[in-house]
Amino acid sequence: MPAAAEAGGRKTKRRNREATAMDLEYDVEAIVNYHCKTGENPLWDDRRKAVYWEDIPAGRLFRYDVRTGRHGEFYHDGQIGGFTIQESSDSGPLSLLLFGENRIWTLDEDGTERQIACDIDEMPRFNDVIADPAGCVFAGTMGKDSTSGGLYRVDTDGRVTCLFKGTGCANGMCFTPDLKHFYWTCTTTRRIFRFDYDQATGELTNRHVVVAVGPDCGGPDGMTIDTQGNLWSARWGGWGIYKYSPAGEELGRFELPVAKVSSVIFGGDDLDELYVTTAGGAEGAETPDGTLYRVKVGARGLREFRSRVALP
């Protein structure tokens, strides 16, 4: 993996202006800026102490090593809507499961690619994915219009099942700490939904809205959860990250110097650092858009599950 550069992060102190909810200072550090048009899907690798992320339309994957500060692009191909780390990576070389333009495939550390599925449905591409405790993957899509997207589940044998359609841009997902519930974001309708989740079957039931975002606050995008069950929702067009209680009550806002904040994940040795992707960067421009940020917010997250999808 090319990693010829070192991060030159700059920290700034910010204060949450929502004093009635959470009047706390927090650190915002710019890690590296690859001028991502749509930086997305930050994912923490606790074995390698690294953060991976992507630039969706450019089909580029990046890695930042928190121990050395070195970073670089290690893959460049067609659009990538999301990815997971395969379970085999815990005992061997890195292997990622990639979701792109109507296809799913693995990418090994040596550059080997193996196709899992293709021509799955009529969709421009996948968008945002998450592995569950069993190693299956929930994968949202970008619809051709405001109602043609949906949510799919990829089982460990590679079988792909459509769970529901009728959405536009499917986005951030997470599981509650007790694994009894599942949250899913629909950016098109500006809502975050909660489901009952059956760990044994992967079934989602009892869908209902927990967060409805107003028309002037940007759109809810990528999302993660902390050990207390609070949601951390990136806000596309909203200049930051919004924190919500399990019941959907807004607990605070964490501002960034970029309008299009696309996704978040907890990382670091203690899972107490938020790594945040942003979008809109123009190559060579003096703009923070497209930067990967690290934000200290005084909370701890949960380890993401690995996918266990077998090769055909």
Active site residues: 221
Query: What CA–CA distance (Å, rounded) separates 30 from 290?
Result: 10
Q: SS3 helix, strand, coil % of the chain, rounded to 5?
A: 0, 55, 45
DSSP structure class, residue 260 = B
Query: What CA–CA distance (Å, rounded) separates 69 from 72?
Result: 10
C-alpha distances out from residue 199 to 135, 143, 179, 309, Å:
11, 27, 7, 16
How many CB atoms are closer than 10 A to CB 119?
7
Distance of CA 67 to the CA centre of its chain: 22
- Strand-pairing partners, residue 13, are 27
Backbone angles phi, psi at 210, to 5 degrees: -115, -25
Distance of CA 137 to the CA centre of its chain: 13
